Amino acid sequence: MPKKVVLLGGTGSIGSSVLSIIRSYPEEFQLLGLSGHSQKEKIRALVEEFHPAYVCLPELPEWRENYRGINFLSGEEGLNILASLPEADMVVIAIAGLAGLGPTMAAIQHQKHLLSANKESIVAAGPLINASLDATNRQIIPLDSEHNAIFTLLTRFERESVKNIILTASGGPFFKKPADSRTSLQDVLKHPTWSMGSYITVNSATMLNKGFEVLEAHYLFRIPFESIRVLIHPQSLVHGIVELTDGTQVMVASPSDMRYPIGMAMFYPRIPPRSESSFSLVVKPLEFFDIPEGRFPLLKLAYEMGKKGGLFPLALNALNEEIVGACLEHRIRFIDIEILIEKGLERFSASEEARLSLSWESLFPAEKKARAIAQELIEERQRAN
Ligand code: NAD
Ligand code: MG
């Protein structure tokens, strides 16, 4: 019997790769539930193609009348129902941003087999998610390529033998030549190796994406920040490396195509029986570089916020979502992002919300505060530019 898959965020970039695996392996997987947010026509096309039994949208669509056998759900409540369906064998969270947190928690509380790409929720609420995973004896299988590589490696070695984990970063478009005031959004969105949503592509250019991934790894694998390193690897073929106590480094390599880590996660503990494309290490030289001194300050800042803990990782994420959103709307320049995030964290530190400890009650006021600070800063910057 094929495994019944619930996919939240099916219209996005990760969602499309998940659907591509389901398409390739109809004998292994069947789409049970699907959610999408803004691309209503795309959701309808997916409903036509996959005939899932459950579909969730922000609001109930008029066209539901044409699909009598399907259960239509809506809003946050609908997402939580989808994430906890008793008949689901697998729940995949491919939603972007903090909107993924509610369904992540619903899936854990209902002891679902959970796969997630939604790093923002793990960054913002890692300790709360971990407490819930411990209470229900569950784990999250990561879809993010670096984390999936590390996950695969960690199943092979005893924890005492692992000295460090290393996440690779492409370095983005500004590794060789830093961005300046003439850098356009088009330059930023030209990612050298990966094709992804625009928000995560901007985060790759500032390297805050890697910063978030350091926090994601810290919570997912419960490894101290001191043992998580980042190396620039412009070819993006090696995704994660585990350094063992004797100095041996073991790495995972695959093409920069999210179907590889997603396939590994969906088949876990098996391995997908066929490859998605041909792949050879001969085609390119493999290079690795340390982060150049003084470059990519947001990566360093992410480590600092991770060590500070509390509501600071959440504030960093919320500030970044607003500030990058303003950059994507051409309201501020790319080079403003770093400065505004640094200022935003200073203002957040001085707020009452920053003194609260991380809890379900404090998450949303802190997020609201950080978003309000970001908007103040964006408006100030727009007036100055
Ligand atoms: P995307 O923008 O392409 O897709 C986001 C999906 O989330 C869409 O289906 C959208 O409908 C849904 N969504 C957005 N806002 C929502 C809301 N408020 N409520 C419910 N659904 C909502 O993003 P993506 O690039 O596919 O990324 C998805 C997640 O995976 C993110 O957390 C991202 O950081 C992570 N990730 C992405 C990649 C990648 O290659 N794209 C790699 C690693 C991790
Ligand atoms: Mg990644």
Q: Which residues of the chain have pLDDT under 70?
A: none
The bound ligand whose nearest atom lies closest to the alpha carbon of 214 is 2
CA 73 – ligand 2 centroid, Å? 31
Distance of CA 152 to the CA centre of its chain: 18
Residue-wise pLDDT for 303-349, tens only, equals 999 999 999 999 999 999 999 999 999 999 999 999 999 999 999 99
Strands (E), 226-313: 228-232, 238-244, 249-253
Query: Are 197 and 96 spatial neighbours (Cβ–Cβ below 8 Å)?
Result: yes
Instruction: Establish whether residue 11 lines the binding site of ligand 1, counting it when its CB lies within 6 angstroms of any ligand atom.
Output: yes
Instruction: Establish whether residue 37 lines the binding site of ligand 1, counting it when its CB lies within 6 angstroms of any ligand atom.
Output: yes
Instruction: Establish whether residue 197 lines the binding site of ligand 1, counting it when its CB lies within 6 angstroms of any ligand atom.
Output: yes
Alpha helices in 25-74 (DSSP H): 40-50
122 is in an annotated binding site: no
Give me the DSSP letters along 200-244: HHHHHHHTHHHHHHHHHHHHHHT--GGGEEEEE-TT--EEEEEEE
Strands (E), 94-145: 114-116, 140-142
Instruction: Establish whether residue 18 lines the binding site of ligand 1, counting it when its CB lies within 6 angstroms of any ligand atom.
Output: no
Give the pLDDT confidence score for residue 276 in this predicted structure. Answer: 78
- Select from 42, 13, 10, 327 the least CA-distant residue to 194: 13
145 is in an annotated binding site: yes
129 is in an annotated binding site: no
Instruction: Establish whether residue 320 lines the binding site of ligand 1, counting it when its CB lies within 6 angstroms of any ligand atom.
Output: no
146 is in an annotated binding site: yes
The separation between the first and the last C-alpha atoms of the chain, rounded to the nearest angstrom, is 60
CA 236 – ligand 2 centroid, Å? 10
Q: Which atom of ligand 1 is nearest to the CA of 10?
A: 9
29-35 and 249-253 beta bridge pairing: unpaired
Say how far apart CA 25 and CA 362 lie, in whole Å.
43
CA 95 – ligand 1 centroid, Å? 4
